Amino acid sequence: TYYAAFAAELEACAQPMWGLLSHCKVRETQEYTRNVVRYCLEALQDWFDAINFVDEPAPNQVTFHLPLHRYYAMFLSKAVKCQELDLDSVLPDQEMLMKLMIHPLQIQASLAEIHSNMWVRNGLQIKGQAMTYVQSHFCNSMIDPDIYLLQVCASRLDPDYFISSVFERFKVVDLLTMASQHQNTVLDAEHERSMLEGALTFLVILLSLRLHL
């Protein structure tokens, strides 16, 4: 079941990550952290190549399992908070940063879609995945690193690009018109308000959550 996949990521990926992070608390070990960050970026690029990813995720698909993104995010946070590394010194170029943003952002948009009952044909399994992703036992290793990575992307990418990407991913760009009428070719009218609320709630979380900053 889906729960086995979450448990597998927690035990096979997250627990070793937290074990490694426990040794990255002082400035003297910053070079080890820098190496892990570099290898994470290389592995992420290999993954992008393997799935033929350029700049858009596959439509109507989502995965809640992004262990490489989360390794990169948490070691990045530790490097800046505990080891006095400059954030820009361990960040990739703008093109790679745009790629890193896409899949965690897709998860946030999909959460809003699931809560808006747009995935009902996938049954209770998809709702269960959305609930597991944010529940207390898993959130520290899943949604929290994802939000931190998105915060980093928001702070370093062009603001107009980031905001427009958020509204495009949540499918609410057509709602932001000044015209008296609009036509949303992607969302049904019954889902528009809840998706817009989801996008705005996500932006509030992005601005207010300070867990790893």
In this predicted model, what pLDDT tens digit does every residue of 77-86 receive, in sequence order?
999 998 888 9
Which pLDDT score, from 0 to 100, does residue 124 have? 86
The Cα-based distances of 160 to 30, 109, 155 in angstroms read 33, 18, 11
Which pLDDT score, from 0 to 100, does residue 130 have? 92
pLDDT at 29 over 90: no
Q: How confident is the model at residue 180 (pLDDT cuts 50, 70, 90)?
A: low
Q: How confident is the model at residue 101 (pLDDT cuts 50, 70, 90)?
A: very high
pLDDT at 176 over 90: no
- Which residues fall within 8 angstroms of residue 59, CB to CB, at 6 or more apart? none
pLDDT at 1 over 80: no
pLDDT at 144 over 70: yes
Q: Residues 103-129: what's their mean pLDDT? A: 91
Higher pLDDT, 184 or 11: 11
Q: Residues 19-24: what's their mean pLDDT? A: 90
For the full predicted model, state whether its pTM sits above 0.95. no
Which pLDDT score, from 0 to 100, does residue 167 have? 93
Which pLDDT score, from 0 to 100, does residue 56 have? 82
Considering the chain, what is the average pLDDT of its residues?
Answer: 90
The answer to whether the beta carbons of residues 188 and 165 sit under 8 Å apart is no
Which pLDDT score, from 0 to 100, does residue 122 have? 82
Conformational region of residue 175, where left means phi above 0, alpha means psi within -120 to 50, and beta covers everything else: alpha
